[in-house]
Amino acid sequence: MKTNFYKYAPAVLAIIGFIFSTCIYSIAKFLPSGTSLVLWGALTLSQTFSGLMLGLAIKRLHNRSNSDVLTGLQNKRYFYNRLAYEMGRLKRVKLPVSIALIDVDDFKSINDTYGHVEGDRVLLELANIFKAYARAKDTVTVWGGDEYAVILPDTDIKGAEAFAERIRSEVEKHNFPYKVTISVGITCTIKEDDMEKLMAVADKALYKAKETKNNVVSIESSLCVELIWL
């Protein structure tokens, strides 16, 4: 996975710097022994330090480009990268992958009535709720604005519905200063579907859920025929 390079970039570039210094030492061995040792030490320290700093800078840039500033969750860019990975993994392990799209009901009215600062606080608290109910292998992301998307690997449609109902119920009873509810659209696939097609099905389910609000609707991507209302 491409993200592995960014994750280990500091160590990789530090090793490259060390190898470079070792090569310089091989050349410097033709110099007097005292001079070559000093040269090797100086180059080793400078190249290793430079590689480490460059690697850390790359890692920070990668994290920022894949993160939502407000909530700290991963963003849509990361979502698609992770979904591509899960689609490839699905082909190997033959276990279902589910997607949950979450929309905050009437979020515009929260911003209009209480202000954007209060709206941001709601989004942050919701993100914390979703993270608390997600497993370590799940991926919770900001889909855009007041929408979130969750990847649930190794999870069938029933498991995804259970997850969605838990977070819907928790949001409904959470101690917000005013009423906040969410709508959730779910889809599940047991084959390596086209990602855009899969997201279109999830979006269709979310649209159906938003018709009544504070609701969960699921559509199985592999069948695209069954609606299950909770």
More confident residue, 13 or 154: 154
Give the structural domain span for 29.
3-65
> Do 148 and 181 lie in a common domain?
yes
Contact 88, 47 (CB under 8 A): no
Parallel, antiparallel, or unpaired for β 182-189 and 216-220? parallel
pLDDT value for 148: 97
Question: Cβ–Cβ contacts within 10 Å for residue 54, how many?
Answer: 16
Per-residue pLDDT at 14 exceeds 80:
no
User: Whole-model pTM?
Assistant: 0.74
Residue range 193-209, pLDDT digits in tens:
678 889 999 999 999 99
Domain boundary residue, one of 65, 85, 117? 65
59, 82: one domain: no
Instruction: Give 99-158 pLDDT, tens digit per residue.
Output: 999 999 999 999 999 999 999 999 999 999 999 999 999 999 999 889 999 999 999 999
Mean pLDDT score, 36-42: 68
**Are 50 and 103 contained in the same domain?**
no
* Catalytic residue annotation: 146
> What CATH code is carried by the domain that includes residue 155?
3.30.70.270
Both 47 and 98 in one domain: the answer is no
